[in-house]
Structure 1
Amino acid sequence: RGSCVGLQRSGVSRGSVPLCAAATVLVAGALMGAGDVIAQQLVEQRGLHGHHGSRTLKMMAIGFCFVGPVVGGWYKILDRLVPGTTKVVAVKKMVLDQGAFAPCFLGCFLGITGAMNGLSVEENWSKVQQDYTDALLTNYCIWPPVQIANFYFVPLKHRLAVVQCVAIVWNCYLSWKANRL
């Protein structure tokens, strides 16, 4: 949201909500792609010749079409459901984010990735069952402390930027986890 405020102040968007949404979606796609490149190069050590460009493009598409719109929409809903920035509000937002949103989001993400990788319904369901619990537990190691700090210390207009910084590492993990066949 911080980048959207800057766009509005510069006169680029003239208050256009669609431009803000587009910026959020573009950043999400780029970060999903960056996370996949890091996963392939640093974690899987594929090298340039072994890099699966089509996988990176698929992850970017998931970022553009799923992650950006869903996460962006969720943060707007969350701010309306639980307004304010006190410690109690930050904890409430984190509990809703991690208790309600994260489990659903991860299941959908893993299922979408499996479908885009060409898995049959049965193979995809098996892969989701295999990876879901581990991914959710890893999520709980990373995101609750980030989100409490984000909701309490960071002004609303900069919260998305904080999440995007952490998302590089998280997207690397998600890409690696979701693409292990």
Structure 2
Amino acid sequence: MVGLWRSYRALMTRHPWTVQIITAGHAGGGGYVISQQVLERRGLTIHNVTWTAKRMRIGFFFVGTVLGGWYKVLDKLVTGGTKSASIKKMLAQQVGFAPCFLGAFLGISRTLNGLTVEGEHCQYRRDYMDALISNYYLWPPVQIANFFSSHCTIDWLWSRL
């Protein structure tokens, strides 16, 4: 497992943009597979392969590219690998970027699901604030750990396994 992690980190160092896009696409599809199989217990016979492929496309063409570009901008806006820099990055992400990104993500997801503009607007108004609040519960601590660990701790932790 440690060797796999090191290989991933080496690829990420050499080809960050490509690896970010591939990772986001597979995470989107994989997350939807987990949702259908573990949470919804659909079974493979009624697994929604079409929607899984749509989630992968959203990951490849939207999430991976937009986040990859945003992280490049964020690294230029806030430099360093300190705890303070990690908190600043998280705040910039959550206050400036997340609300816009979430709105675009919901719109793209619903468009790929075949909703009309009217239906999309109605669902957007109904779901956006709940999704944004859920985002604020989940992502800030994850992002602080990620921003800080990308500079020091993750390699140390894996070297101890």
Same fold (TM over 0.5): yes
1:64 to 45, 60, 76: 60
Q: Deviation at 1:106?
A: 0.8
1:3-14 matches, within 5 Å, as 6-7=10-11
RMSD of aligned C-alpha atoms? Answer: 2.2
Q: Which amino acid counterpart does residue 115 of structure 1 have in structure 2? A: T
Q: Deviation at 1:5?
A: 6.0
Q: Which amino acid counterpart does residue 25 of structure 2 have in structure 1? A: G
Q: 5+ unaligned residues in a row in structure 1: which ranges?
A: 10-14, 160-181
Q: Distance in 1 between matches of 2:119 and 2:35?
A: 23
1:86 to 59, 82, 89: 82
1:155 to 129, 148, 151: 151
Q: Distance in 2 between matches of 1:82 and 1:141?
A: 23
Q: Deviation at 1:81?
A: 0.3
Matched residue, 1:38: 34
2:119 to 98, 105, 123: 123
Q: Deviation at 1:32?
A: 0.3
Q: Does 1:23 align with 2:7?
A: no
Q: Structure 1 residues 4 and 76, CA, compared in 2 at 3 Å: closer, same or farther?
A: farther
Local SS of the residue matching 2:118 = helix
On the 8 A contact 1:4/1:20 being kept in 2, the answer is: no
**Runs ≥4 residues deviating over 3 A:** 2-5
Matched residue, 1:162: none
Q: Deviation at 1:8?
A: 8.4
Q: Distance in 2 between matches of 1:83 and 1:8?
A: 19
Q: Distance in 2 between matches of 1:8 and 1:60?
A: 19
Q: If the length of structure 1 is used for normalisation, what is the TM-score?
A: 0.75
Q: Which amino acid counterpart does residue 76 of structure 2 have in structure 1? A: R
On the 8 A contact 1:33/1:59 being kept in 2, the answer is: yes
Q: Deviation at 1:56?
A: 0.1
On the 8 A contact 1:36/1:56 being kept in 2, the answer is: yes
Mean CA deviation greater in 146-155 or 78-87: 146-155
Q: Does 1:73 align with 2:63?
A: no
Deviations 1:12-50 (A, max 9, x none): xxx6xxx53222211111110000001111222211122
Q: If the length of structure 2 is used for normalisation, what is the TM-score?
A: 0.83
Local SS of the residue matching 1:45 = coil
Q: Distance in 1 between matches of 2:130 and 2:42?
A: 24
Q: Which amino acid counterpart does residue 6 of structure 1 have in structure 2? A: A
Higher relative contact order (CA 8 A, sep 6+): 1
Q: 5+ unaligned residues in a row in structure 2: which ranges?
A: 1-5, 156-161
Q: Structure 1 residues 3 and 65, CA, compared in 2 at 3 Å: closer, same or farther?
A: farther
Q: Distance in 1 between matches of 2:80 and 2:12?
A: 23
